[in-house]
Structure 1
Amino acid sequence: MTAAPGELRRSELHSSLADPVMDTMNFLNEITMRYPEAISFAPGRPYDGFFDTTQVFDHLHRYLGHLAERGLSPDQVRESVFQYGPAAGRIRDLIAGSLLADEGIDVPPESVVVTVGCQEAMFLALRALVSGRDDVVLTTSPCYVGITGAARLLDIELVPVRERGSGLFPADLENAVARERALGRRPKAVYVMPDHSNPSGVSMPLDVRRDLLDLAGRQDLLILEDSPYRLAGTARRLPTLKSLDRDRRVVHLGSYSKTLFPGARVGFAVADQTVVDPAGGRGLLADELAKIKSMITVNTPSLSQAVVAGALLACDGRLSEFNRDTSAYYQDSMRFTLKCLERRFPASHRATAGVRWNAPAGGFFIFLRVPFHADNAALKRSAQDFGVIWTPMSYFYPRGEGGHGIRLSTSYLTHEDIEEGVSRLGEFIESPMAPGEPGA
């Protein structure tokens, strides 16, 4: 049948647009807007009580002063915020300096690409690394929904490696690599979130980090390290994979959304791997990412980069110091949520209720297992009848598992809202009609 004028057939659009993963954020936003009085444990967003509009102007003026001190003329300073900039970014030197000061990551500024949030950094890395139909990328499962969406949009096969209670086991990853190679496919990289991961909240122990790097060397894999929640935990942070990397196996993906503010939409990729062309010429993987970026977003907004740069200058690159108060706030919120869960579901009652959860040391998220199928229908009933919103864990499994899990975000709520929200959640979980039953 011929389509009517102005009408497009979904079947003729890219297949990823029919994938349920593409609707997850829109559905959560719709539920939140439809039930504004509900307490929401869904958004993994920073607490904005620390934001002050004057900070933006302070950061901007500080950066402009920094440029003038470096000898730039007034015209050059003006151009640095009003004009397009290089695709790889204007503030690579400040980002590289911050990574060295705060994380012990020692890389040249040329290996940094400044991106529009970390989501673009993931997209660039996937597009650059996957060159053929048989190439695959592995990921922990559950994983951040953004990597799943990016892979689907790029027609890249994402192979999940199931997390155990404490996270990824390198032996499981090695077995998955062997299975893919036996099928004639080429594992190119593995995506991991080592610190307070989204959605499960787990962190990778130091010995596992070292084992993962060793495995990457033996199996000729790259590691895509995404770690936006590092500074939302305890002061004693484990080293990043990139700081432990001696063979340039790690592409480090970063974001300032959780450490500064998400409205800037500034992230970065550290890609110091060498790329050799057929004629023997040598360059950096970062150069290749910048080529791709130049055809997607052209460049990261200069004004946003300027504000981020001013914040980095204010703390001499030590974002851990800059985030001391916010980090304490997130840790307090996490501890308080866990206490509320303990009170609402004491150990003697937990098995009967069919509920259990993990206890992350930091970050934004708790993984709660529930005795019903936690799908969109259950979420709608929870919001409508009990006034509490959460995120189904099934959103975070590339192959649609996790049906009996929910993610609770602790970052954005006050103690009062957390206490009331956990109370409402308990009533919902123990309500007479099981949420997954017909008619629920």
Structure 2
Amino acid sequence: MRSVEFLNEVMRRYPDAISFAPGAPHPDTYADLDIERYLSRFVSHAVTESGHPPSTVRRLLYEYGPSRGLINGLVAELLRRDHAVEAPEQAVVVTVGAQEAMLLVLRALIRSTDDLLAVADPCYVGITGAARMLGVETVPVPEADDGLQVQALRSACRAARRAGRRVRVCYVAPDFSNPGGNRMGKEHRERLLELAEAEDFLVLEDNVYGFTAAPGAELPLLKTLDRNRRVVHLGTFSKVCFPGVRVGYVVADQTVVTADGDSTLLADHLARLKTMVTVNTPPLSQAVVGGMLLEHGGSLAERCRTRSALYRRNLTLLLDGLDRLTEQGLPPGVGWNRPTGGFFVRMRLPVPADDTLLARSADSYGVLWTPMAHFHLGPGGADVLRLSCSYLTPEQITTGVRRLGAFLHGEMGR
């Protein structure tokens, strides 16, 4: 996670710079929170469900809770309502953000040095960092605008088998991935699931940015399409509710055999592992999320729509601003992709987009971005940067694009 530390240091050093670096939720999306109301809503629900008096339920929120979670049934209902995923609440484990879920899944599934984790290249540093921490070897698979390349993954599986090893898990973010902003089409998703069945691996699906799709342009989750329990699904409430809540979840309805020879749900195994990692996800945070779910009838679809509109507004402002730079003339070799959702845009430069250039961009032009090389497992991305527009106001985006234009003209001619 050295890249995160470096970016934080640059942002501290240049507080007046416009930063296209952080992929954080916009503050306006949680400005109207009424934490007390959500807590009261959840307590009332828990009193009705359990028959315990309110004082007893409130006390439970101040104590250690069950490792599996308190709001599993509400999460299962959310998945059914919003995504047509039929998962029993026993298959849900509530985690400290999606990051803990990644760690638990890798620890549970990859138990031998012969087991490999396949990831898109470039890839979110959270999953590759978790893999490094656990000593899990990763196999990079190229990603294009239509997502992780299934044929390349097939070749990686066969190469591993020839070496006496196997791809055990493949991590994907099918909707507007971080950092690439790429999206898999429905047929592409189905081909990935067919390959998972043929090559006997599990797909670890991260759905953090799917909610930013335009109305009518939504695509089914991999878990929705999953007919053979090949998908372990990760979710988080950080982007849709608020980041400080730190509540995520994993849906793991696969049957596994333990070291003792017993058959159990993968979710049961994850819950046991969680007792040795974080013990439990804070009950107060879960109660806030549970209250929000109850307040919205067990669905977050409407909340997702309003937040999606803000993020698509910002993305449109960024892309339109870059288009105006093109009209004014840009140095040869500068280009970018055009995602239809998510938080990120990739820009290619005719020079290395490295940490040295980033420092010069901040110091001389007052604009920050992220070098894409930090997200590649190999030498890729050396001349590409990532622009994130999620955290900024329209005025900041306009100013930032103007500064970015000055940076491009001033530095590309060197």
TM category, shorter: over 0.9
Q: Which residue is 1:124 aligned to?
A: 104
Instruction: Pick one of 186, 205, 210 that aligns with 1:230.
Output: 210
Distance (whole Å) between structure 1 residues aligned to residue 225 and residue 315 of structure 2: 28
* Alpha-carbon offset, residue 434 of structure 1: 5.8
Instruction: Pick one of 188, 191, 212 that aligns with 2:192.
Output: 212
8 Å CA contact 2:106–2:131 kept in 1: the answer is yes
TM-score by length of 2: 0.96
8 Å CA contact 2:90–2:267 kept in 1: the answer is yes
* Alpha-carbon offset, residue 400 of structure 1: 3.8
CA deviation map 1:104-159 (0-9, x unaligned): 11100000010000000000001111111121100111111111111111111011
The secondary structure found in structure 2 opposite 1:114 is strand
Change (3 A) 1:266 1:434: farther
* Alpha-carbon offset, residue 38 of structure 1: 0.2
Unaligned runs of 5+ in 1: 1-21, 436-440
Instruction: Pick one of 311, 314, 322 that aligns with 2:295.
Output: 314
The secondary structure found in structure 2 opposite 1:161 is strand
Unaligned runs of 5+ in 2: none
TM-score by length of 1: 0.91
The secondary structure found in structure 1 opposite 2:85 is coil
Q: Which residue is 1:88 aligned to?
A: 68
8 Å CA contact 1:99–1:317 kept in 2: the answer is no
Matches within 5 A, 1:138-287: 138-236=118-216, 237-277=218-258, 281-287=262-268
* Alpha-carbon offset, residue 214 of structure 1: 0.6
Distance (whole Å) between structure 1 residues aligned to residue 226 and residue 398 of structure 2: 42
1:290 aligns with 2:299: no
* Alpha-carbon offset, residue 54 of structure 1: 4.8
In structure 2, what residue type is equivalent to 1:331? R
The worse-fitting range, judged by mean Cα deviation, of 172-181 and 296-305 is 172-181
Q: Which residue is 1:416 aligned to?
A: 395
Distance (whole Å) between structure 1 residues aligned to residue 117 and residue 197 of structure 2: 16
* Alpha-carbon offset, residue 65 of structure 1: 1.1
* Alpha-carbon offset, residue 57 of structure 1: 1.4
In structure 2, what residue type is equivalent to 1:60? L
8 Å CA contact 2:146–2:182 kept in 1: the answer is yes
Distance (whole Å) between structure 1 residues aligned to residue 412 and residue 267 of structure 2: 54
Task: Report percent identity of matched pairs.
Answer: 48
RMSD: 1.5
1:342 aligns with 2:344: no
CA deviation map 1:324-382 (0-9, x unaligned): 22110101111111000000123x945x4311111111111111111111111111111
Instruction: Pick one of 360, 370, 376 that aligns with 1:381.
Output: 360
8 Å CA contact 1:233–1:330 kept in 2: the answer is no
Q: Which residue is 1:331 aligned to?
A: 312
8 Å CA contact 2:145–2:183 kept in 1: the answer is no
The secondary structure found in structure 1 opposite 2:232 is strand
Instruction: Pick one of 8, 29, 32 that aligns with 1:29.
Output: 8
Q: Which residue is 1:10 aligned to?
A: none
The secondary structure found in structure 2 opposite 1:345 is helix
The secondary structure found in structure 1 opposite 2:66 is coil
* Alpha-carbon offset, residue 279 of structure 1: 6.5
Distance (whole Å) between structure 2 residues aligned to residue 180 and residue 361 of structure 1: 35
Number of residues of Structure 1 aligned to a counterpart in Structure 2? 412
1:397 aligns with 2:367: no
* Alpha-carbon offset, residue 79 of structure 1: 3.0
Change (3 A) 1:189 1:432: closer
Instruction: Pick one of 24, 49, 55 that aligns with 1:45.
Output: 24
CA deviation map 1:296-345 (0-9, x unaligned): 10000010000010111111222121222211010111111100000012
Change (3 A) 1:178 1:386: same
* Alpha-carbon offset, residue 431 of structure 1: 1.2
In structure 2, what residue type is equivalent to 1:113? V
Change (3 A) 1:185 1:343: same
Distance (whole Å) between structure 1 residues aligned to residue 395 and residue 132 of structure 2: 40
Distance (whole Å) between structure 2 residues aligned to residue 424 and residue 126 of structure 1: 42
